[in-house]
Chain A
Amino acid sequence: MKDKILEIEDVTVSFDGFKALNNLNFSLDVGELRVIIGPNGAGKTTFLDVITGKTKPTQGRVLFKGRNLKSLPEHQISRLGIGRKFQTPRIYLNLTPRENLEISSNRQKNVFATLFKHSSSAERKTITGLLETIGLSSNADIRADKLSHGEKQRLEIGMLVAQSPDLLLVDEPVAGLTDEETENVGNLLLALAESHSILVIEHDMEFVRQIARQVTVLHQGSVLKEGTIDEVQNDPRVIEVYLGQPLEDTASEVQHSSEKLETLNIGNSKL
């Protein structure tokens, strides 16, 4: 059996009686890339909030590398090795991409180290390399509010990586991106998956198909189904709650998915 990096045991989060998460059980292997899908209000973002310490579980516990996160504040959880990307890009708009990455990559995060220590040349080299990976080398020294939406998304993923966490939590990384940018981000995540455990929340099914090996479906705060993308898409309960009405579309999409992929490939080679 593989080591678990993240275990969530019987977690319930209730807001004034409303259960955003309801006896949720979940686990993630070390090195796994998992996609979480679910209709709006299924508790996906609360799920990330519970892991990162933004929301504390009403019941149950969250274990990261076997350690209970219950009593830890956000910054300590982050220091243990959990990085989070938010739904809308949360970068520091008044700083440049290079400075954004520098803030995240700083290893000693207390007041005096930040004040007196200068970033090492190794750190600066890492940042330069990272800027190249996320494709922002030529825009590294302009203010981040001048970046396009896609660049901001990539920068935030870069900030996550700069933290060098073991577990990346990525909330809707391709929302609002063009097809080309979406594919870029997908490839970036796949590359990162070689050395990190990654949890992705996403709506865009085509994107899910691009990156997913295992998919977890959340519904009303609990896990509805886990499996490969095809298993999930063929599951009648999932179709009912998530894919909902366009049942025929979905079925045909599954059938024609291989054809579709080919069309996509042709499209790409043409480009």
Chain B
Amino acid sequence: MLKESAGGWGLGARASNRQTRLIEVVVVVAIALLLIFVMPTVLSSFRLNLLGRFLALAIVGLGIDLIWGYTGLLSLGHGIFFGLGGYAIGMHLKLQIPPGELPDFMGLYGVTELPWFWKPFYLFPVASAAVVIIPAILAGLFGYLVFRNRIRGVYFSILTQAGVIIFFNFFNGQQKLFNGTNGLIDFSTILGANVSAQSTQVVFYILTVLLLIGTYALCRWLTSGRFGRLLMAIRDDESRVRFSGYDPTEFKVFVFAVSGAIAGIAGAMYTLQSGSVSPRAMDVAFSIEMVIWVAIGGRASLVGAVVGTLLVNYARSFFSEEYAEIWLFFQGALFLLVVTVLPDGIVGWLRNTGIQQLGRKQVITYPSLEEDPEVENERQNLGN
């Protein structure tokens, strides 16, 4: 009797799982259609560009959530990968010049020959592959060295922070190679199209939406199923995972590399829409901001990462248009508020309280009793 009802419950849960999955797909597609077809007609080109940039930042938010929310790796250096993605596409754009000529800034510093590593970036396929591959390889290598030596927690975060400072200083100091502080600016064409033309920008915007959806699907796939559960197991008790016969290093390196690649894509899309990439992308504060977006939206919730990113960035653009001086105070206050009052972020809070109550059919008198296995058991046995 008991067994039957338990089995029936399991089947029911599986069926409703499939239903939730279907609803999720429908919602995501609906949002995508809204973003792609409605927004360009509703918003001014300035506002659309802003939204496109924020959506690009949401991609890196997903990457942060994947490693922090699900795997427990707090990276304070994702600006490295974001910046590298931006520079990779930026270098391609700076090479849209007649053969034999050099990118404009190089002349200023007396460079006479194109540095060897710039050359592959003439080709669009190479540059766009580099957007993904260079950050992935660098993240994988960094991850391997760090995780193999079992460096974890705050020590890992400090190392990522050190990494981002090194990269900032490198790109900031290399005027001949990367135009130093100013970075790569004044892009002209991409694949023959004018970069700053309205029609091209709409294409970038749509591409960003599609990449965001793709990244969401990828992260959703990675974090569900057996692999996702193992990531959470590593987050919750890494050494237990070792004694179960898994090598957590492999998993962490893999997921960190994926997250780096995601940040690279975000950086490239951001660069295309903002029209420049500079060492500021590798600024320490920017990398920490990424973490704040995810914390505010909700750790270990992919929707939270996207919502948090959009929310904070819209708040920032509102405040910096209206009251530029108080934005930083506001951001600090928001972060403090979330950490102290809503530790699971906005989406986490909604998930734990609001939505659950909306979704239930019966009135809940005492939620923990409702979920207590003993009580559940007794309830099932009462019929006997």
Q: Which residues of B contact A110 (CB under 8 A)?
A: 247, 250
Interchain Cβ contacts within 8 Å, total number: 98
Q: Are A111 and B236 in contact (CB under 8 A)?
A: no
User: Is A99 an interface residue, CB under 8 A from the partner?
Assistant: yes
Q: Is the CB of A109 within 8 A of B229?
A: no
B244: which of A78, A115, A140 is its contact (CB, 8 Å)? A78
Known: A74-B243, A75-B242, A75-B245. A114 touches B371 (CB 8 A): no
Query: What residue in chain A is nearest B371 (Cβ atoms)?
Result: A146
Q: Chain A residues near B242 (CB, 8 Å)?
A: 73-75, 78
Say yes or no: is A84 at the interface (Cβ < 8 Å to chain B).
yes
- Answer whether residue B10 sits at the interface, using C-beta atoms and an 8 A cutoff: yes
A104-119 near B? 1/0 per residue, CB < 8 Å: 1010011100110011
- Cβ contact of A114, chosen from B9, B13, B227, cutoff 8 A: B227
Whether A138 contacts B373 by the Cβ 8 Å rule is yes
List the B residue with the shortest CB-CB distance to A147: B373
**B residues 244-294 in Cβ contact with A at 8 Å:** 244-248, 250-251, 254
Find chain A residues with CB under 8 A from B119 CB. none
Identify which of A27-35, A86-94, A231-239 touches chain B. A86-94
B334 within 8 A of partner (CB): no
Interface string of A155-169 (1 = CB under 8 A from B): 000010001000000
B254 CB → nearest A CB, Å: 5
Cα separation A139 to B2 with both chains bound (whole Å): 11
Asked if B240 contacts A90 (CB within 8 A), the reply is: yes
A10 touches B (CB below 8 Å): no
A95 near B232 with CB under 8 A, answer yes
CA distance A106 to B251 in the complex (A): 15
CB distance from B33 to the nearest CB of A (A): 30
Assess whether B233 is in contact with A95, with CB atoms less than 8 Å apart.
Answer: yes
A94 & B373 in contact (Cβ 8 Å cutoff): no
**Which applies to chain B's interface (DSSP): helix, strand, loop or mixed?**
helix
**B307 is an interface residue with CB less than 8 A from chain A:** no
| Bound form: Cα–Cα A54–B245 in Å | 13
- In the complex, what distance in Å separates the CA atom of A78 from the CA atom of B248? 13
Known interface pairs A90-B237, A92-B236, A99-B229; A52-B371 also in contact (CB < 8 Å): no
| Structural contact, A102 and B229, CB atoms closer than 8 A | yes
* A95 pairs with B229, CB closer than 8 A: yes
User: Does A142 lie within 8 Å of B6, measured CB to CB?
Assistant: no
Cβ < 8 Å to A, chain B residues 212-244 = 222, 225-227, 229-230, 232-233, 236-237, 239-244
In the complex, the answer to whether A104 meets B254 with C-beta atoms within 8 Å is: no
Q: Separation in Å of the B249 CB from the closest CB of chain A? A: 9
Interfacial chain A residues near B373, Cβ < 8 Å: 138-139, 142, 146-147
Give the distance to chain B from A93, nearest Cβ to Cβ, in Å: 6
| Residue pair A92, B245 in contact (C-beta under 8 Å) | no
Asked if A103 CB lies within 8 Å of chain B CBs, one says yes
Which residue of A92, A99, A119 has the most chain B CB atoms within 10 A of its CB atom?
A: A92
| B136 shortest CB reach to chain A, Å | 14
Q: Cβ of B250 and Cβ of A111 under 8 Å apart?
A: yes
User: Contacts of B374 on A, CB cut-off 8 Å?
Assistant: 148
Nearest Cβ on chain B to A218's Cβ, whole angstroms: 21
Tell me how far the C-beta of B4 lies from the nearest C-beta in chain A, rounded to whole angstroms.
11
Residue A79 at the chain B interface, CB threshold 8 Å: yes
- Residues in A with CB closer than 8 Å to B241 are 103
Q: Among A74, A83, A93, A102, which residue has the most Cβ atoms of chain B within 10 A? A: A74
Q: How far is the CB of B90 from chain A (nearest CB, A)?
A: 32
B372 at the interface (CB under 8 A from A): yes
Decide if B377 is an interface residue (CB 8 Å cutoff): yes
Contacts of A257 in B (CB 8 A): none
Contact assessment for A137 and B244 in the assembled complex, using a CB-CB cutoff below 8 Å: no
Contact A103 B247 (CB under 8 A): no
Q: List B contacts of A109 (CB < 8 A).
A: 244-247
Taking CB atoms and an 8 Å cut-off, the chain B residues in 192-228 that contact chain A are 222, 225-227
A75 touches B371 (CB 8 A): no
Cβ distance B169 to chain A, nearest Cβ, rounded Å: 34
Cβ < 8 Å to A, chain B residues 2-20: 2-3, 6, 9-10, 13
Let me know if B3 and A114 touch, CB within 8 A: no
- Whether a CB of chain A sits under 8 angstroms from the CB of B174 is no
Query: Are B227 and A115 closer than 8 Å at their CB atoms?
Result: yes
Q: Is there contact, CB below 8 Å, between A140 and B6? A: yes
Would you call B357 an interface residue if the criterion is a C-beta within 8 Å of the partner chain's C-beta atoms? no
Q: Looking at the complex, which one of A74, A92, A141 makes contact with B237 (CB distance below 8 Å)?
A: A92
Closest 3 CB pairs of A and B: A78-B245, A74-B242, A90-B240
- Known A-B contacts: A75-B244, A109-B247. Give 10 more (CB < 8 A): A78-B242, A90-B237, A102-B229, A110-B250, A137-B3, A138-B2, A139-B373, A141-B9, A141-B13, A142-B376
Interface residues of A (CB under 8 A from B): 52, 54, 73-75, 78-79, 83-84, 86, 90-95, 99, 102-104, 106, 109-111, 114-115, 118-119, 137-142, 146-148, 159, 163
23 contacts between A and B (CB under 8 A): A75-B244, A78-B243, A83-B243, A90-B237, A92-B232, A92-B233, A92-B236, A99-B229, A103-B226, A103-B229, A104-B244, A109-B244, A114-B226, A114-B230, A114-B251, A115-B227, A137-B3, A137-B6, A138-B3, A141-B13, A142-B373, A146-B372, A147-B373
